[in-house]
Amino acid sequence: MDKTFSSAAEAVADIPSGSTLAVGGFGLVGVPIILIRALLEQGTDHLEVVSNNCGVDGWGLGELLSRGRIDRVIASYIGENREFARQYLGGEVEVELTPQGTLAERLRAAGAGVQAFYTPTGADTLLAEGRETRVINGRNCLLEYPLPGDVALVDAWEADRWGNLTHRESARNFNPVMAMAAKLTIVQTQHIVPLGDIPPANVHTPGVFVHRVVHVPA
């Protein structure tokens, strides 16, 4: 039950090229940067990334992107990443833009075992072209499917050795649903505390979703 690993390099060592990565963070907050850099050093490439955005130029997922390690991104927006915009417009990387709430719910559905769901978001836009829609309570709704990942890279404020996590303030953002959505969840945390030190109400991500924990002091 001890899920702690001695280093980020050890924790990501067996992630193969071609994996689908679910990566926590929103903008620059709650980004598992140490795990991202360990993956960069390992040389894994041809990645599909699921994240709110793709970092910024030279930081976060932007580091993988600038080194040509990412083939496809499923995200809510391109943001302030000029290299992301350049690669997308140049046809170097494929992008699937997804409404932010839909992205979060698709990830949550993957973790909860929900096979599909309807949402009015995007139903009357180009997103609905060629896709299944249905009128529910008088509103057009679009059928969406879960978004599972092979590996999740997650940031936490504190964890115990069983993988129970607390995310600090706004760093909670996408991290819990990313942890739920993947077959293998790897966490970097600033603090590792003894079992029982995290009050149940503060367990934002239960250890059942977590497989590896790396201590990364601030």
Residue 119 domain-assigned (yes or no) = no
Residue 5 domain-assigned (yes or no) = no
Query: What domain count does the chain have?
Result: 1
CATH code for position 49: 3.40.1080.10
Residue 164 domain-assigned (yes or no) = yes
Residue 57 domain-assigned (yes or no) = yes
Residue 171 domain-assigned (yes or no) = yes
Joined tokens for residue 79: 């943001």
Residue 123 domain-assigned (yes or no) = no
Residue 199 domain-assigned (yes or no) = yes
Range of the domain at 163: 17-97+148-215
pLDDT tens digits for 136-166?
Answer: 999 999 999 999 999 999 999 999 999 999 9
Across the chain, what does the average pLDDT equal?
96
Residue 87 domain-assigned (yes or no) = yes
Give backbone dihedrals phi and psi of 22, rounded to 5 degrees, phi first: -100, 115
In angstroms, the CA 94 to CA 88 distance is 6
Nearest 5°: the CA angle 77, 44, 89 is: 35
For residue 158, count other CB atoms closer than 10 A to its CB.
17
pLDDT tens digits for 72-121?
Answer: 999 998 878 899 999 999 999 999 999 999 999 999 999 999 999 999 99
Q: What is the pTM of this model?
A: 0.95
